[in-house]
Amino acid sequence: MKVLVYSAKEFEIPYLTAANNGKHKLTFIPESLNSKTAIKAVGFDAISIFSSDDANFMVIEKLKEFNIKYITLRSTGYDNANINAASRLNIKVANVPEYSPHAIAEHAVALLLALNRKINVSNTRVKNHNFNLNNLIGFDLNEKTVGVIGTGKIGSVFTKIMNGFGCKLLGFDRGENKTLVANFGMEYVDLETLCEKADIISLHVPLNADSQYLIDENCVEKMKPGVIIINTARGMVINTEHIINGLQNKTIGGLAMDVYENEKNLFFKDRSTQIPIDDMFVTLNAMPNVLITGHHAFLTDEALTNIAETTIYNLDCWSEDKASKNELYSLEAVTE
C-alpha cells in the first residue's frame, strides 16, 4: 500500500520505519494536511495524519477525489478529522486509541511539580549563579485536594500517582470508575463542587461538543483562590481568555499546559526567529506562574513505539481487506 505520511517529524520516522519493516511504501513529508496540501496525496492509497493536520469536510472531499481510501491518525484524539464526511464518502478512518496513558499522566505530574516548586525559575537563577531563594515557595502535595476531570485511562493513571502523594481525590466524569473509588478513595462530584473544593485541577478529557470550553469564567469564579490548573488534554477544553483573567485577578495561582487552543499555528515548528502573532499566547508566556510545553506529553519511547505499531497495524488490516479494530465511525453509521 502506498501511504503518504503528513506532518512527519524527524523523531517519529525511525519508529514508523521500524514498525513498517518494508511492508508498505511510506513517503514522509513535513507539510501538514490542509486544503492546499491535500493534492500531494494524488497517487497514494492512504494517508497518515497527526493531531495538527486538518481533515475537515472540504479536505475529505478532495481526498475522495484523489482516490484516497484510508486515513490512519497517529493520535488518540480525532477532533481534527470529519468522521461523518469520511463515512459518507466511504473513506475508512482509524486512530491510535491507546498508546501510553502513563506518558501523558506522568507529564501532567511533572508539570505540576515543576510549576508548584518553581523548578524552572530556580534552575534559571542557578545557571546565572543566583542562589537567592526569594519567591520560590511552593506547597506540599500531601493532603491537598486534587480534582481530576476525566477519569478514563489517562485520568486513572494520574489519579493513582496523586494518591501516592497522599492527595484527596475528586472526580468528574459522565460515569464513575468504581476501581478508583474502591482503591484510591476517589469521590465523584459535579463540576461546580470540584471547582469549589480542589486545590489542583487536572484535565484529561477528549475534545468534543460537551467538553469544548468546559472550563470557562463560570468555573473560574467558583475556584478556590490560588488553584493550580494542569491541562494535558486539548487546548479548547479551557477558555484561554477566561483563564488569563483568572490568572490576572489571582483567582488562579498557576497554570501548566502542554496544549493550547491555537496551537496549530504555533506548535511543532521552530519559531525562535519569529514573534508569535497571538496575543493570548504572548500574555501567557510572559507570566511567571504559567508553564508551557509544546504538546510533547506523548514523547516517550514506549508511546512512540505503540503509535507506530498501531499505525502500521491499521494499514496492514486495510491492505488485507480486513476491518481494523481501531476504525472510527460516524454517528449516523452507528445508529443506522
Angle at 333 between CA 210 and CA 34, to 5 degrees: 65
Query: Residue 333: what pLDDT?
Result: 42
Q: Which whole-number Å values give the CA distances from 112 to 150, 156, 242, 276, 320, in the listed order?
A: 17, 16, 21, 26, 45
One domain for residues 6 and 153: no
One domain for residues 117 and 250: yes
Backbone angles phi, psi at 24, to 5 degrees: -120, 155
Query: Residue 94: what pLDDT?
Result: 97
Query: Residue 331: what pLDDT?
Result: 54
Residues with active-site annotation:
234, 263, 295
Query: Residue 66: what pLDDT?
Result: 97
Query: Residue 335: what pLDDT?
Result: 34
One domain for residues 174 and 242: yes
Q: How many domains does the chain have?
A: 2
C-alpha to C-alpha distance for 300 and 93, rounded to whole angstroms:
25
One domain for residues 253 and 147: yes
Question: Which three three-digit cell numbers place residue 83?
Answer: 468522521
One domain for residues 213 and 264: yes
Q: What is the 3-state secondary structure (H, E, C) of 31-76?
A: CCCCCCCHHHHCCCCEEEECCCCCECHHHHHHHHHCCCCEEEECCC
Residue 142's domain comprises 101-292
pLDDT along the chain (336 residues), means of 10: 97 98 97 96 97 94 97 93 95 94 97 97 96 96 98 97 98 97 98 98 94 97 97 96 97 97 89 88 95 96 97 97 92 42
Question: Which three three-digit cell numbers place residue 288?
Answer: 511567571
One domain for residues 280 and 318: no
Question: Looking at residue 110, which CATH number applies to its domain?
Answer: 3.40.50.720
One domain for residues 53 and 91: yes
One domain for residues 16 and 129: no
One domain for residues 171 and 310: no
Query: Residue 329: what pLDDT?
Result: 84
Residue 277 host element (H or E): none
One domain for residues 107 and 224: yes
Question: Which three three-digit cell numbers place residue 133?
Answer: 531563594
One domain for residues 132 and 270: yes
One domain for residues 88 and 176: no
